[in-house]
């Protein structure tokens, strides 16, 4: 099994760059397999933080999530990723997604995101393999593009991260690795796997040919009510960014409450904190790993047993008055040992 740790940008908004390295050292010391750096604008820049983390670690994978095809050209994303891959001696990895963070402020429009991901994935993967790329895509274009240096081989693992049905199908078809975001229980993930499998079949692949990670916003606290409260703002954010797609909500047997949906429908990101105050517990249970260490471990164990997934990404959120180090240590020292004790490795 592999366990990854990530931090949504708001949960590390106060983390100054001189302290980023110390956090990376702690995560490696605690035994995480991957450390992921968020790309929410306009916080501290993702690839710079990845570079900082790579310089003080030697084993842990250095991930970035997510990159998109709209605000930054995929060729420039490949350039940045290849640079960090070289700096980290081959430990870099990246997840592509539809994006949306900062688009309103920059006047960027997101259109045909699944097709854009298909084209961006092709461009980036080819460039990382040292190839010259020309692609007259429907959304993205590249003309005789080539990196002017050779990053370490093998190239970085390139993921597609999503919660949307169309993108899951596209990811199954074109990607080697997929991050299943948001779904916090086995039935939801099971339905997603069926969609991914349909896409994989179009390319002659099977589900077992793909590297799969379940990535969920996580808040761990001995008082489960505080853990729940630490998740509501993130739920409101992804409901805002996914609007109007509500397939993943309906799959969980839920409906977005009318008062929450009304705030989100105004498309004013400044209203997200108000929406967060109205998020019910049922949404926390469906879309987050939240609660005491026992509660969170049981959620993950159930997913592993019922879906066969063996990679898990904990995107750490903070309960009220909880320190970042306390959150990380609770996951590493209280949650992961419980999962390992379940004997799932023998079933891999």
Q: Is the pLDDT of residue 280 over 70?
A: yes
Q: Is the pLDDT of residue 347 over 70?
A: no
Share of the chain above pLDDT 90, in %: 89
Most confident of 103-117, 231-245, 307-321: 307-321
Q: Is the pLDDT of residue 322 over 80?
A: yes
Q: Which residue has the higher pLDDT, 2 or 8?
A: 2
Distance between alpha carbon 30 and the CA centroid of its chain, in Å?
20
Quote the crossing angle between the two packed helices 113-128 and 165-174, to the nearest 10°. Answer: 30
Asked if 324 contacts 15 with a C-beta cutoff of 8 angstroms, the reply is: yes
The matching CATH number, chosen from 3.20.20.30, 3.40.50.300, 3.40.50.880, 3.40.50.1460, for 2-217+292-347 is 3.20.20.30
Per the listing, tokens 């820049």 go with 45
Long-range contacts of 108-116 (CB under 8 A, 24+ apart): 108/70, 108/71, 109/70, 110/68, 110/70, 111/139, 112/138, 112/139, 113/164, 113/167, 114/164, 114/166, 114/167, 114/169, 114/170, 115/139, 115/170, 116/68, 116/69, 116/70, 116/140
Q: Is the pLDDT of residue 346 over 70?
A: no
- Of 56, 4, 63, which Cα lies nearest the Cα of 31? 4
| Residue-range domain boundaries for the chain | 2-217+292-347
Asked if 199 contacts 172 with a C-beta cutoff of 8 angstroms, the reply is: yes
Task: Enumerate the β-bridge partners of residue 53.
Answer: none
The model's confidence at residue 9, banded by pLDDT at 50, 70 and 90, is: confident
Q: What is the mean pLDDT of residues 105-127?
A: 95
Q: What is the mean pLDDT of residues 236-261?
A: 92
pTM for this structure? 0.93
Note the pLDDT of residue 343.
85
Q: Which residue has the higher pLDDT, 347 or 149?
A: 149
Q: Given the DSSP bridges, would you call strands 288-291 and 34-38 parallel, antiparallel or unpaired?
A: unpaired
Query: From CA 26, how far away is CA 127, in angstroms rounded?
Result: 33
The model's confidence at residue 249, banded by pLDDT at 50, 70 and 90, is: very high
| pLDDT tens digits, one per residue of 159-171 | 999 988 999 999 9
């Amino acid at each position: 099994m592999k366990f990854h740790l990530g931090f949504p940008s708001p949960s590390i908004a106060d983390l100054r760059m001189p302290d980023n390295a110390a956090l990376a050292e702690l995560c490696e010391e605690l035994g995480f397999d991957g450390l992921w750096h968020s790309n929410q604008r306009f916080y501290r820049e993702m690839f710079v933080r990845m570079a900082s983390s790579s310089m003080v670690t030697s084993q842990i994978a250095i991930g970035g999530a997510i990159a998109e095809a709209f605000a930054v050209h995929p060729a420039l994303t490949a350039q940045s990723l290849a640079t960090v891959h070289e700096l980290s001696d081959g430990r870099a990895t990246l997840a592509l997604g539809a994006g949306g963070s900062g688009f309103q402020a920059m006047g960027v429009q997101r259109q045909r995101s699944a097709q854009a991901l298909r084209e961006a994935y092709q461009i980036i993967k080819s460039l990382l393999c040292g190839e010259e790329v020309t692609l007259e895509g429907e959304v993205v274009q590249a003309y005789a593009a080539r990196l002017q240096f050779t990053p370490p081989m093998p190239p970085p693992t390139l993921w597609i991260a999503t919660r949307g049905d169309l993108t899951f199908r596209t990811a199954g078809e074109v990607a080697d690795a997929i991050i299943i975001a948001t779904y916090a229980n086995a039935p939801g993930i099971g339905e997603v796997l069926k969609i991914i499998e349909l896409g994989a079949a179009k390319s002659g692949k099977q589900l077992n040919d793909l590297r799969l990670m379940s990535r969920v916003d996580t808040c761990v606290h001995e008082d489960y009510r505080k853990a729940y409260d630490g998740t509501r703002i993130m739920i409101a954010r992804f409901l805002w960014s996914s609007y109007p797609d509500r397939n993943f909500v309906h799959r969980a047997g839920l409906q977005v409450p009318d008062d929450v949906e009304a705030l989100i429908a105004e498309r004013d990101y400044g209203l997200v904190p108000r929406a967060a105050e109205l998020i019910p517990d049922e949404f926390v249970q469906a879309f987050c790993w939240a609660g005491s260490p026992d509660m969170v471990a049981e959620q993950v164990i159930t997913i592993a047993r019922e879906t066969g997934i063996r990679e898990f990404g904990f995107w750490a959120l903070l309960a009220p008055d909880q320190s970042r180090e306390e959150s990380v240590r609770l996951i590493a020292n209280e949650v992961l040992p419980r999962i390992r004790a379940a004997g799932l490795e023998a079933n891999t």
